[in-house]
Amino acid sequence: MFYATVRQFALEAIAPAVRTMDEDQKFAPGLIDKLFDLGLMGIEIPEALGGAGGSFFDAVLAIQAIATVDPAVAVLVDVHNTLVVNAIRRWASEDQRVKWLTKLAAGTAGAYALSEAGSGSDAFALQARAEKSDGGYRLNGRKLWISNARESGLFLVFATLDPAAGYRGITALFVEKDTPGFTVGRKEDKLGIRASSTCELLFDNCEIPAANLLGEEGKGYKIAIETLNEGRIGIGAQMLGLAEGAWGHAAKYAQERRQFGKPIADFQAVQFALAEMATEIEAAKLMVYNAARLKDGGQPYVREAAMCKLFASQVAERVASQCVEIFGGNGFVRDYPAEKYYRDAKVGKIYEGTSNMQLMTIAKQVL
């Protein structure tokens, strides 16, 4: 029921704007407010703090359902719920939980700032510097590739308190949008998920109150590893939804488009392509749902999370590519939905750990 509700919302409120949002590289006015109104930005936030009091599995269903229509909107919901809210639920003090989760449920979007120009896969080689100051910390440096940057009011920023300490210097700090010295910089002009803002962040002597430390000093690496392990399942869900969306368009088109006097869906080659796609989607779905259930059940899930993200992103790319071909020439132009799914799929193999990083995690677990 929850999936069906979110999918219906996506079809009614998002689908009509998908093309314009992709071209304009921004979300339709009022769309984010609707996501908040529907409770999709506080899925796991307790009801007492204004959230929906749902499970991680609910978040996965919402991301999947939205991605069937627009993976760019899905990533906003994904980062906010599975990275930012998740980190706070897990690591924040009671005061911080009340303060930030209430805001994050009510209308403040969240961003997660780990990557830098020189540290992507090697995330813990980050250079952003936090130094102790009278009131807390002085933050300097730059972040790159930060999703939700234009829309967010709260940023979870990873910086080092002690570069000589390596990963043990990494510390997580909350930075509010209006902090003096903090600016959201250049927005990337992307291949896919173009409506989602991906920006550089600049910190110039930002004074961050001591109360904005998340967890302990030097334990930011642990927060990053653990939130990304979970977040990966969200990206698996995004890629799963993308594949389902592309499949739906391909199946409908194949039944409408006529060649040689009949719908192209009457040709066995087209049927087999759609059957292969459906089978791969089913496998990806079981892997994503299994990882989410393990997580909700308090069982080990790191291996399954990496596997589902790796596999779902491969399936998304294959299914979206096949969808373009089923649309023929129409698959290659912007008047039809196929090419956007194809462009949007590529990032699934890159963010929240490239496919090689997933393989490294899986290899470590299985060997």
Ligand X SMILES: Cc1cc2nc3c(=O)[nH]c(=O)nc-3n(C[C@H](O)[C@H](O)[C@H](O)COP(=O)(O)OP(=O)(O)OC[C@H]3O[C@@H](n4cnc5c(N)ncnc54)[C@H](O)[C@@H]3O)c2cc1C
Residues classed as catalytic: 352
Please name the residue ranges forming H helices in the chain. Answer: 2-9, 18-24, 31-37, 56-69, 71-78, 86-91, 94-96, 102-106, 220-256, 268-296, 302-326, 338-345, 355-366
Residue of 50, 110, 120, 141 interacting with ligand X (CB under 6 A): 120
**Per-residue mark of binding to ligand X, 28-67 (x: CB under 6 A):** ----------------------------------------
Q: Which tokens sit at 187?
A: 């927005």
Could you tell me which stretch among 208-216, 292-300, 304-312, 347-355 binds ligand X (CB under 6 A)?
A: 347-355
Min dist. Cβ of residue 357 to ligand X (A): 6
Residue of 100, 112, 203, 253 interacting with ligand X (CB under 6 A): 112
Residues 6 or more apart whose Cβ sits within 8 Å of residue 358: 232, 306, 307, 309, 310
Residue 86 sits in the site that holds ligand X (CB under 6 A):
no
Please state the φ and ψ torsions of residue 45, each to the nearest 5 degrees. -75, 135
Q: Which tokens sit at 46?
A: 């307790």
**Per-residue mark of binding to ligand X, 125-164 (x: CB under 6 A):** --------------------xxx-----------------
- How are beta strands 152-160 and 109-113 bridged, if at all? parallel
Of 148 and 322, CB closest to ligand X:
148
Of 38 and 350, CB closest to ligand X:
350
Min dist. Cβ of residue 193 to ligand X (A): 6
Residue 351 sits in the site that holds ligand X (CB under 6 A):
yes
| Whether the Cβ atoms of residue 310 and residue 239 lie closer than 8 Å to each other | no
Min dist. Cβ of residue 112 to ligand X (A): 5
Helix (H, G, I), strand (E, B) or coil at 184: strand
Residue of 8, 121, 183, 205 interacting with ligand X (CB under 6 A): 121
- Cα–Cα nearest to 339, from 15, 57, 22, 41: 22
Span 196-215, contacts to ligand X by CB under 6 A: 198
**Quick one: CA dihedral 24, 25, 29, 34, positive or negative?**
positive
Residue 229 sits in the site that holds ligand X (CB under 6 A):
no
Question: How many residues touch ligand X (CB under 6 A)?
Answer: 20
Min dist. Cβ of residue 123 to ligand X (A): 7
Residue 223 sits in the site that holds ligand X (CB under 6 A):
no
Taking the C-alpha atoms of residue 133 and residue 294, their distance in angstroms, rounded to an integer, is: 42
Taking the C-alpha atoms of residue 72 and residue 193, their distance in angstroms, rounded to an integer, is: 4
Min dist. Cβ of residue 362 to ligand X (A): 13
Residues making contact with ligand X (CB under 6 A): 79, 112-115, 120-121, 145-147, 190, 193, 198, 347, 350-354, 356
